Amino acid sequence: MLQVGFILLEGAKAPGNEKHSFLSTKLEALLNAQRQIVESKLLGSLQKLGLHYVNTYTVHKHTRPVIMHVWKKVIEVKELGLMKSIGVSTFNKLQIMALLDAEIEAVIVNQTEHRPLVYPPATSRL
């Protein structure tokens, strides 16, 4: 698996989980998030991974003015069946709350950033 580019695989042995795998990929920050661009980015990731879909497509670190626009475009692409759910990565509390308040599609994954000198307690409690 490392030969194809994976840098982390976790295979904790628990009853029944050996038959399942969970894969996620990220959409990097886009200033011009058109549906075709979001779809193209996801298809490129799927091609590199050799997959037809991912469990979660994670929207990574977008600036506040474009978050809702990007989120809506990702939801449109989700309807193609290329992802099962949508998450966020490195969003702050206000960004996550804006998505939750919009009530269009729930944030399924909140991937927070934790480093020795960076600890965002507000997002860790969401």
pLDDT tens, per residue, the chain with 126 residues: 545 665 555 555 555 555 566 788 899 877 777 899 999 999 999 999 888 999 889 998 766 667 888 889 999 999 999 999 999 988 888 888 888 888 888 888 887 776 666 665 665 565
Q: What is the SS3 assignment for the chain?
A: CHHHCCCCCCCCCCCCHHHCCCCEEEECCCCCCCHHHHHHHHHHHHHHHCCCCEEEEEEECCCHHHHHHHHHHHHHHHCCCCEEEEEEECCCHHHHHHHHHHCCCCCCEEECCCECCECCHHHHCC
Per the structure, the count of domains in the chain is: 1
Residue 68 falls inside a structural domain: yes
Residue 96 falls inside a structural domain: yes
| pTM score of the predicted model | 0.75
Residue 106 falls inside a structural domain: yes
Residue 17 falls inside a structural domain: no
Q: Residue 3: its pLDDT value, please? A: 57
Rounded-to-integer distance, Cα 99 and Cα 59, Å: 12
Residue 1 falls inside a structural domain: no
Q: Residue 89: its pLDDT value, please? A: 86
> Which CATH number does the domain housing residue 41 bear?
3.20.20.100
Q: Residue 2: its pLDDT value, please? A: 47
Residue 111 falls inside a structural domain: yes
Residue 37 falls inside a structural domain: yes
Rounded-to-integer distance, Cα 40 and Cα 119, Å: 33
Range of the domain at 83: 22-124
Residue 10 falls inside a structural domain: no
